[in-house]
């Protein structure tokens, strides 16, 4: 995910990194050349005039803009819900760490509390890997004892296996007399929140926007853009390619943006910065138990790509 400091309007006109323009530029170039050919032949092919009155395109453009707006809202809602889930993950892991330190009767630097915190960190990383369908073994080996890491690596749903280990840790502390039933309930409440976070992320990752909905909009956008030169050639002349490309940039660009953010856990420049958020959670939890935390550069003052 790219995070920039705010820039003035003039500099924004020339921003390249993070812009959707680099993805759709070949399509715009092809649309421009197509429009030049239409103007050159004045909308005619084999003496048949293909140009037409642009009024129908006006109504189609209005409907298309409304349709794109609805799809943009649906995609951004998925993106924002995913961000809220990861924000809740940060809050819940902090709460569980605080409970392990202050409510278990153990010191912050005890091996038991350290194991609990590292299980929470491993939970975060395995959730990230599950959502991105990447390999979690390196993070598990780095964070957990070898036997425990090997056991968790065998599972398909590694975050849920770690949730089980967190529950076992709480049960052991209760058997040792460090926590009572009321404290156990408080721990269990936050573990249930972690389970809900996993379920919410899986729902977004495994339930894309219906394909016919995406396909219909995609086809309509491109059909509209390639019909537009025939509607403008008589009234705009050689200015037609410019008007068509500007319109194409708006419609094709928005179509590309919503396709990118509708899958918020991916690796596109504008998807969620799961790497950065995972490192932030690791850093804040390690600080809470007085361990050295990895340095995190601030996301502002420049661009940051996850």
Model pLDDT for residues 21-39, shown as the tens digit of each residue: 888 999 999 999 999 998 8
β-bridge partners, 45: 48
Q: Is 90 helix (H, G, I), strand (E, B) or coil?
A: helix
Higher pLDDT, 273 or 15: 273
Q: In which band, very low, low, confident or very high, does the pLDDT at 123 lie, cut at 50, 70 and 90? A: very high
Rounded CA gap, 25 and 88, in Å?
A: 38
pLDDT computed for residue 10 by the predictor:
64
Q: What is the DSSP letter of 208?
A: P
Q: In which band, very low, low, confident or very high, does the pLDDT at 301 lie, cut at 50, 70 and 90? A: very low
pLDDT computed for residue 6 by the predictor:
63
Contacts of 262 (CB under 8 A, 6+ apart): 74, 75, 78, 79, 208, 209
β-bridge partners, 49: 44
Poorest-pLDDT segment among 13-17, 162-166, 260-264: 13-17
By the 8 A CB rule, do 163 and 128 touch?
Answer: no
* Count of beta carbons in the 10 Å neighbourhood of residue 155: 14
Question: Mind giving me the DSSP string for 120-144?
Answer: HHHHHHHHHHHHHT---HHHHHHHS
Cα-Cα-Cα-Cα dihedral sign, residues 89, 91, 94, 96 = negative
Higher pLDDT, 215 or 123: 123
Span 200-253, pLDDT tens digits: 999 999 998 888 888 888 899 999 999 999 888 888 888 999 999 999 999 999
Span 67-117, pLDDT tens digits: 888 888 999 999 999 999 999 999 999 999 999 999 888 888 899 999 999
pLDDT computed for residue 56 by the predictor:
85
> How would you class 258 by CB atoms within 10 Å of its CB: exposed for 0-12, middle for 13-18, buried for 19 or more?
buried
pLDDT for residue 302 is more than 70 = no
Poorest-pLDDT segment among 120-129, 158-167, 260-269: 260-269
β-bridge partners, 48: 45
Q: What beta strand segments (E) does the chain contain?
A: 44-45, 48-49
pLDDT computed for residue 147 by the predictor:
93
pLDDT computed for residue 303 by the predictor:
37
**35-61 average pLDDT score:** 79
Rounded CA gap, 300 and 7, in Å?
A: 12
Poorest-pLDDT segment among 54-68, 107-121, 139-153, 285-299: 285-299
* Count of beta carbons in the 10 Å neighbourhood of residue 13: 8
pLDDT computed for residue 305 by the predictor:
46
**154-169 average pLDDT score:** 94
Angle at 262 between CA 11 and CA 277, to 5 degrees: 70
Rounded CA gap, 119 and 127, in Å?
A: 12
By the 8 A CB rule, do 61 and 176 touch?
Answer: no
Please state, rounded to an integer, the average pLDDT across all residues of the chain: 87
pLDDT over 70, % of the chain: 88
Q: What is the CA radius of gyration of the chain?
A: 27
pLDDT computed for residue 296 by the predictor:
62
């Amino acid at each position: 995910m790219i995070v920039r400091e705010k820039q003035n309007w003039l500099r924004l006109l020339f921003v390249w990194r993070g812009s959707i323009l680099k993805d759709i530029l070949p399509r715009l170039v092809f649309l421009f050349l197509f429009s030049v050919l239409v103007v050159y032949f004045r909308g005619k092919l084999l003496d048949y005039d293909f140009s037409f009155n642009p009024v129908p395109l006006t109504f189609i453009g209005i409907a298309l803009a409304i349709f794109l707006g609805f799809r943009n809202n649906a995609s951004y809602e998925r993106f924002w819900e995913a961000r809220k889930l990861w924000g809740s993950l940060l809050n819940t892991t902090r709460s569980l760490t605080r409970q392990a330190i202050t409510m278990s009767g153990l010191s912050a630097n005890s091996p038991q509390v350290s194991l609990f915190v590292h299980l929470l960190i491993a939970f975060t990383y395995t959730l990230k890997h599950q959502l991105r369908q990447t390999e979690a073994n390196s993070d598990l080996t780095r964070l957990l004892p070898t036997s425990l890491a090997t056991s968790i690596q065998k599972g398909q749903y590694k975050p849920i296996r770690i949730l089980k280990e967190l529950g076992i840790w709480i049960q052991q502390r209760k058997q040792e007399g460090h926590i009572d039933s009321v404290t156990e309930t408080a721990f269990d409440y936050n573990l249930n929140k972690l389970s809900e976070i996993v379920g919410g992320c899986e729902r977004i990752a495994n339930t894309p926007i219906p394909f016919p909905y995406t396909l219909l909009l995609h086809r309509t956008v491109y059909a509209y853009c390639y019909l537009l030169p025939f509607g403008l050639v008589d009234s705009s002349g050689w200015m037609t390619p410019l008007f068509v490309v500007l319109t194409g940039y708006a419609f094709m660009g928005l179509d590309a943006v919503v396709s990118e953010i509708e899958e918020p856990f991916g690796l596109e420049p504008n998807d969620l910065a799961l790497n950065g958020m995972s490192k932030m959670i690791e850093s804040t939890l390690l600080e809470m138990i007085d361990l050295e935390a990895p340095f995190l550069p601030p996301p502002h003052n420049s661009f940051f790509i996850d």
